[in-house]
Structure 1
Amino acid sequence: MRLARRLRQERADTELSGTQYSALAWTASEGSLTVGRLAELERVTPPSMNRTVNCLVDAGYVLREGSPDDGRKVLLRTTPAGEAVVRETRRRRDAWLAKRFAALTADERETLAKATAILGRLTDQ
């Protein structure tokens, strides 16, 4: 928890909440998504995700667009400003982690690599 909390401090836009940044990052990595699909990915209700998306739209990081396949669907797309926030946040987080990993021994890095695989399986359940 402390590591996750510390990494969250490395956001490029400190006005975004962790939930807002996470939704923005999903949209940036997955491409066009519906609010419902984004809610599934984040494991929250669609009304809750809609409030999050409203904040991202107001900030200029996400656009709502009609689906070319189904006029009833609304798709979310990341704007260039949103993409820039995600890229810069990832750069900052990578730099923060790289500095700390460099101070570890080879054995410690190997232990972390093994633990990462185990933690990944736990989160996918």
Structure 2
Amino acid sequence: MPVAAPTLASELRRAVIMASRRIRAERGSADLSDPQYSVLVHLERNGQLTPSQLADLERIQPPSMTRTINCLVEAGLVEKAAHPTDGRVVVVSLTEQGRTEVAETRQRRSAWLEAQLAAMEPDERARLADALELLWRIAQA
């Protein structure tokens, strides 16, 4: 019997949120907040960025990003430097310790999720794989 869209939407939203929270609970040794880790990921993917670019990516105000960056600098995960062509602008980049933190967090999150999938029956994993295309379509809408 087909499930009504409002009911499915409510249950799917709750399940996705709870799964996402559980995955995010797996963290590297620095035990960063989600916004701090997100900054590291942006830098890992994009290379050097200005605080304004990071604030735009995170959709937050620049003063909030400045505080986040300063915490990450103090933790040794990022470093600030003068922009190569405009000395008035600061660029932020990952340190080796920051790269290690991103890799460790990703590894822990993947390991947790892989363990959950390995505990499922093969037909359950197949059903989940079938739903993956639909979830991607929703995510990209």
**TM-score with structure 1 setting the length:** 0.89
**Pairwise CA distance, 1:74:** 0.5
CA distance in 2, matches of 1:31, 1:106: 37
**Pairwise CA distance, 1:9:** 1.3
- Any residues of structure 2 matched to 1:70-109 within 5 Å, and which? 70-102=86-118, 103=120, 104-109=124-129
CA distance in 1, matches of 2:22, 2:45: 22
- Any residues of structure 2 matched to 1:1-125 within 5 Å, and which? 1-13=17-29, 15-102=31-118, 103=120, 104-121=124-141
Q: Deviations over 1:51-91 (max 9, x none)?
A: 11110000000000111111111000100000000001111
| Matched AA of 1:111 | A
Bigger radius of gyration among the two: 2
CA distance in 2, matches of 1:59, 1:48: 17
What is the total number of aligned residue pairs between the two structures?
Answer: 121
> Which runs of no fewer than 5 residues in structure 2 stay unpaired?
1-16
**Pairwise CA distance, 1:15:** 3.1
> Which runs of no fewer than 5 residues in structure 1 stay unpaired?
none
**TM-score with structure 2 setting the length:** 0.79
| Preserved contact between residue 101 and residue 109 of structure 1 (Cα < 8 Å) | no
